Structure 1
Amino acid sequence: MSDAHASHDGGNHGSVKSYVTGLILSIVLTIIPFGMVMSGGFSTMTVFVTISIMAILQVLVQLVMFMHLDFKTEEGWNVGSFAFTALILGILVGGSIWIMQNLHANMMLGG
């Protein structure tokens, strides 16, 4: 008997092993940047890049291990909709940061 459970639509839920693996990976991907920030021995840019990379990896672990998003052809719509959502989110966040930085750089100081 397998640990994977079939859902009503024929898809498989994850096994206990995949959930435990996802949990351990999530904890490790959280501890690494937390340890870097708490130690204080790294430059700001190094910490920023590490936090960004670990956050992206954390999202991928969550999607694959807990949300069961994979790249099978049957789930092409799921992957496509996720990619579109990520693109729109990237444009929104990147554009907001760009606008705020531009406002900060061009703001008139004093009167």
Structure 2
Amino acid sequence: MSAHGETPHGAQGGHGNLNQLMAGFALAALLTIVPFALVMGEVEINRTALIATIMGLGGLQILVHLIWFLHVNRSAEEGWTLAATIFAVLILVIVLAGSLWVMKNMNENMMPMHDMEHHMQMEQMKSLQSQQG
């Protein structure tokens, strides 16, 4: 302790007490369990709404980890940490949005297997007809 009775990290700059850490853990667990339950319980909601809910809860979980466990805040000495965190979150959003966009386009543009089999059968029939005719 310092001469003023503060911890070495400052009054608010410490690693938090057990109650704060347990609250962060409970929030993180809840933000993991809810999306898992939505998917495994096969909840009847629109697929787009389900994906948006899962991604939103994932974003909240990132914030919980940053605030409760990594202690990122807006203080002057944490300024670079906050800027780096914002940049990392921006990159994460770009990667997630890009991945969803690519998967959506692939799903729309790929030929389903049963259509491919039907297409191959039609090609075989055309080739047999051209050989006979």
* TM-score above 0.5, yes or no: yes
Give the deviation of 1:105 after TM superposition: 5.2
Please list, as runs of the form range in 1=range in 2, the aligned pairs for 1:42-53 lying within 5 A after superposition: 42-43=44-45, 44-53=47-56
Give the deviation of 1:42 after TM superposition: 2.3
Give the deviation of 1:92 after TM superposition: 3.5
Residue 67 (structure 2) pairs with residue 64 (structure 1): yes
Instruction: Compute the TM-score of the two structures, normalised by the length of structure 2.
Output: 0.63
Q: 1:45, 1:97 → 2: CA distance?
A: 11
Residue 84 (structure 2) pairs with residue 94 (structure 1): no
Give the deviation of 1:34 after TM superposition: 1.7
Larger deviation, residues 74-83 vs 94-103: 94-103
The DSSP-based 3-state class of the residue aligned with 1:13 is: coil
Alignment match, 2:19: 17
- Structure 2 letter corresponding to 1:60: L
Task: In structure 2, list runs of 5 or more residues that go unmatched.
Answer: 121-133
Counterpart selection for 2:37 from 35, 38, 46: 35
Task: In structure 1, list runs of 5 or more residues that go unmatched.
Answer: none
Q: How many residues align?
A: 106
Paired-residue identity, %: 37
- Structure 1 letter corresponding to 2:97: G
Q: Which has the larger radius of gyration?
A: 2
